[in-house]
Chains A and B, each alone.
Chain A
Amino acid sequence: MKKLFRLFTKKENSEQTEHQPTPIDTDLPQNLTYIKNSLGESTDIVIRKFKIGEKRTVKIAVVYTDGLVNESTVHESLLETLMSDVRQTQLSKQALNKGMYYTVRDHVLTAGELDELETLDDVLLHVLSGDTVLFLEGETKALCVSTRGWQDRGVEEPSTQAVVRGPKDGFTETLRTNTALLRRKIKDPNLWITTQAIGTKTKTDVAVVYMNGIANEKIVKEVHKRLNQINIDSLLDSGYVEELIQDETYTPFPTVYNSERPDSIAAGLLEGRVAIIVDGSPFVLLVPALFMQFFQSPEDYYQRSDFATLVRLIRFIAFFLALLTPSAYIALTTYHQEMIPTSLLINLSSQREGVPFPALVEALIMEVTFEILREAGVRLPKAVGSAISIVGALVLGQAAVEAGLVSSAMIIVVSLTAISSFVSPSFNFAISIRMLRFLFMILAATFGLFGILLGLIVLALHLASLRSFGVPYLSPLAPYITSDQKDTILRFPRWGLLTRQRLINQKNIDRENMHKPKPTSRSPKKGDSS
């Protein structure tokens, strides 16, 4: 980590020396030439020159990027106003006396967001972000009008983390849409959003969102600190940010949570977590992320609490199944046959008659085959993908058994593992289980259950050593916090969930303070007393 930071600081220094901002020149053509040259005369840059004023004496140029701007805004509220409306209106002399620049700035432009720019580098940045920039002859400042408006995907149902019950909207690639989605859920002045641009080349907007007063200030500061330390040329997805700000690089476990679902992020914000939205990525990050969080789906809170608890338990079972089934099979069949009931052992051993590989190799073959199929299923076009993977699995599985390459019990083991690994509501968590599975298989093949157990101890030690933005990864299990158990493995009814997690926010613990509404009581006396 330290080394990583050192790397960044070095870069920053070298960057600063070579960069000197160019001021805007009074000469309009020179400015335009500079812009043209800087952008290599790119064809999507539109430069429109014309003259305005009563006598058409003032030269003016409008620069914008085709495709990034909202054409109608540019035409209606910029070009039209400047070219025709200004002439028709009678402006007071006082206004005109100040100079054309101020007239345009204060009286003419009807756009909502207006900026003044002083350097050509800023101009370039704004033009490339979708703003429209106005140059006036003889001025050292340029006016920048926000005309951003491009084709985007629109709010759709998220493709990951699907739920049966619950909101179906998902984040999109546009930062503003995403913040708006959050604002729509939390209409509170304490929802604070700060934005900064990261990436020397991509200049990607990164927004840090948190609930002021609920989020732990230390964590907010830490997030800002880590974001400021990022110095990278490009930031194409929130995955970049995740990798750059996570506490621990060498761990298979995600210490940053990501979600496509505004409801899930909003819930996290209300718990006191900090969200990081990266422009261009529908996956919003949430920190601190704890181990238990990856077993929780937003749907848990929309279903009845007893059912949600059951489902969480099933996810736990699936976690262990996905992690340990192949290794336990290997350990039991090659080391601890005394633990298998006799009749089962006879069945297993009759299946293994004639299988040429040791159990480990057999398991590895099948697991790797499955991983290949899975990867192929993701990459193939949707129409063929599912068909090919199903056929591949069936044919390969069936044929492999019939050809005597693997035993049929192994097929069951592999399929059980595969299915279990998809139960986790979080995709990136499932990946870590899949990786660890292979290590456990090797351990099982060398030391049997002893190896598996030692592997589990190492895993537990590793998990216990992790922290996510200062919060121990395994909390509230270790360190154990009794009051937080209500929403960890169990999901208490909503009336039991009136406090926030201890370690994430230390100050503002109580969520709400109210009594459970009771059905109108039949005997008025009782009702009065409560």
Chain B
Amino acid sequence: MKRRLLLLSFTLLFLLTSLTGCWSKRELDEIAIATGLGLDKTENGYKFTVQIINPAEVAAKTISTRTAVTTYTSEGRSLFEALRGLTDKAPRKVYLSHIRKVVFGEELARDGISETLDFLTRDHEFRTDFHIAVAKGMEAHDLLTILTPMEKIPANKMYFSMQTSSEYWAPSLIIKIQQLISTILEDGKEPVISGVYNVGDIKRGSNLSNVEDVGAPTDVRVDSLGVFKGDQLIGWMDQLQSTSYNYIMGNVKNTAEYFECKDKEGSITLEVMEASSNKTVTIKDGEPHFNVEVSVEGNIADVECQIDLMKLDTIKQLEKHFSEQLSILFNDTVSDVQEDFKSDVFGFGDLIHRTKPKYWRTIKDGWEEQFPEVEVTVEATVKINRTGTISNPYEFKKEE
């Protein structure tokens, strides 16, 4: 009896599920996979641009004349409204879980991005593994229309070039949403977001002919950092500043560092293999003093001036020279940031909070005004490990 009852109940249950289920079902050919998302400000709301993959083109084995991606744009008073507004333009439901890149238009970034961040984390379709960037000096919408060579999907191109450059090139930095939100929420810390901008003509970039050229005249670059205060963009760091910022934050993994030779013509380039930074704070007379130690280890990669690398002394001199150069650069950057942006992107306030919580409580409210005045010393130490596969540079006779 018991058996039969259970058998029956489960048959009925299966019947129930099979007859009525499938609420959340989306067949693969019913969804439009979005890889890039652009958010812009308009007069009365937001402009929402999605870059959608055309799977048949991406996976196609034959060359066709259609593009691998399509962008759709819609406007709405809120982001969700704009997203739903897409349904009358896009033939399928836009699926956001595979977004690789979210780009804010500069105008929106300057106005503040916190409202959009709410949407980006509240909606369950968004994952957390996409990169965030700001379109430098342009609308996110325009940026997303640029077609890129090699990588058929432009958002992927941005994603991957950022991924590689963050590993091998100091100025760029990957920012993910969870990091961004924590930074905005927590006291004594301001965020930076990497900037994306185009080179070449935008109109040309959105045409398939752009990728048919060997040189691809229009392309996308990812090497600059936008400084935020709270959730508002207030300015851009140049490449050197971005590099220093990453050194100070300990974000650098592997990069190249160019130095002028001391007393001689030419240059030496250091391949940085390891870099770390250590920030400490001491309080003297109720004023915080910050001390940042950046230690850099690397190999000599490229020597373009005549020096004797085989001498231990030379290496020591080089190390000293490099350390000085870097220290100057870093200190300049910190003071520039303090003066120009007045935004604590280095997280000095957070450092006090974490290490000296009691003191932090006393200065917490005035930190914003206090930050530009605090004393920061950055000290860089460079260590050279190897000199590459050859010892001394070749002495080629140069024809005058």
Which positions in A face B, CB cutoff 8 Å? 3, 248-250, 333-335, 337-338, 342, 345-355, 358-359, 439, 442-443, 445-448, 451, 458
Contact = CB atoms under 8 A, between A and B. Distances in A.
Nearest to A356: B29
A337 B29 contact: no
B17 A350 contact: no
Interface residues on B, range: 20 to 34
Contacts, number: 86
B58 A350 contact: yes
Given A338-B97, A350-B55, A352-B28, A442 B35 contact: no
Contact of A447 (B17, B60, B97): B17
Nearest to A333: B28
Contacts of A249: 3
B311 interface: no
Interface string B195-236: 000000000000000000000000000000000000000000
A446 B21 contact: yes
Given A337-B31, A445-B22, A350 B56 contact: yes
Interface of B: 1, 3-4, 6-7, 10, 14, 17-18, 20-22, 24-29, 31, 33, 35, 53, 55-56, 58-60, 95, 97-98, 100, 125, 127, 156
A250 B4 contact: yes
A337 B14 CA distance: 24
B59 A445 contact: no
Contacts of B17: 442-443, 446-447, 451
A342 B26 contact: no
Nearest to A357: B27
Contacts of B31: 337, 349
A359 B27 contact: yes
Contacts of A351: 59
A337 B97 contact: yes
A469 to B, nearest CB: 18
A358 B27 contact: yes
B239 to A, nearest CB: 30
A71 B203 CA distance: 102
B58 A346 contact: yes
Indicate the member of B6, B7, B21, B127 with the most A CB atoms within 10 Å.
B21
B172 to A, nearest CB: 21
A346 B20 CA distance: 29
B191 to A, nearest CB: 26
B29 A353 contact: yes
B60 A350 contact: yes
B100 A342 contact: yes
Contact of B22 (A250, A355, A439, A446): A446
B92 to A, nearest CB: 10
Contact of A250 (B7, B21, B98): B7
B25 A335 contact: yes
Contacts of A446: 17-18, 20-22
Contact of B14 (A3, A334, A358, A439): A439
B59 A347 contact: yes
Contacts of B22: 445-446
A337 B95 contact: yes
B162 to A, nearest CB: 15
Contact of B127 (A3, A338, A346, A443): A338
Contacts of B18: 442, 445-446
A345 B153 CA distance: 14
Contact of A352 (B1, B4, B29, B100): B29
B14 A442 contact: yes
Contacts of A358: 25, 27
Contacts of B127: 338
27 contacts: A250-B6, A250-B7, A334-B27, A337-B33, A337-B95, A338-B125, A342-B35, A342-B156, A345-B28, A345-B33, A346-B53, A347-B59, A348-B28, A349-B33, A350-B59, A350-B60, A351-B59, A352-B28, A352-B29, A355-B29, A359-B27, A359-B28, A439-B14, A442-B18, A446-B22, A447-B17, A458-B10
A360 to B, nearest CB: 9
A157 to B, nearest CB: 39
A248 B22 CA distance: 33
A447 B27 CA distance: 14
B12 to A, nearest CB: 13
A454 to B, nearest CB: 10
A348 B26 CA distance: 14
Contact of A334 (B3, B25, B56, B156): B25
A248 B55 contact: no
Given A337-B28, A442-B14, 16 more contacts: A250-B7, A334-B27, A337-B97, A342-B35, A345-B28, A346-B55, A349-B28, A350-B58, A351-B59, A352-B28, A353-B29, A353-B55, A354-B29, A443-B14, A445-B21, A446-B17
Contacts of A448: 24
A347 B27 CA distance: 14
Nearest to B97: A338
A345 B125 CA distance: 15
Contacts of B27: 333-334, 352, 358-359
